[in-house]
Amino acid sequence: DKNGPWWAWNWLKLGEHSGTHFDAPQHWITGKDYPDGATDTIPAQNFVGPVNVIDCSVEAAEDHDFLLTVDHIKAWEAKHGAINPGEWVVMRTDWYKRNGSEAEFLNANETGPHTPGPTAEAIQFLISKDIKGWGSETIGTDAGKAGGMEPPFPAHTLMHKANRYGLASLCNLDQLPPKGAILIAAPLK
């Protein structure tokens, strides 16, 4: 207009674990020694890939401590096809619908948080399939009771030890097909 150009300039300041976020291997002690394990050293092509969406929303609604097992994954593959090397795997629970309330999202009581996630064996199985990364709709990539598992926090411990990635607090997985979508997971710079 006659006053000259105009633009908006805003600042964004937040913690790296705010909302949907990317976990690089160096985020966890078991992945600390990978030279390509930080968000600024990961090859850019690793942020993009096919995604497999394992729907556990019914199970998670019935049992907030639901654990995804190898048998669940194999049953999903029998129905939808193999999980291939270089692909992402995410666990749909519809947990993101709770993110308007901290209490509902964390779902914690005196015994700790109660949120769904994978077993250590499920994570090992996915690593053996050479997946690119694992994601969930909860606050972290592990189940709420993962601190008491062996190893503790298996999604973090095992995935990052294998130089794989994590995605946490995902939303809208109910809008994706079981197979066929492409995931773009570029972290904040």
Residues identified as active-site: 27
DSSP helix, strand, coil percent of the chain (3-state; round to 5): 30, 20, 50
* The residue type at 179: K
Q: How many residues does the chain have?
A: 189
Say if residues 136 and 91 touch (Cβ distance below 8 Å): yes
Residue 123 burial (CB < 10 Å; 0-12/13-18/19+)? buried
Nearest by Cα to 17 from 34, 50, 39: 39
- Show the beta-strand stretches assigned E in 105-164: 108-109, 112-113, 117-118, 133-136
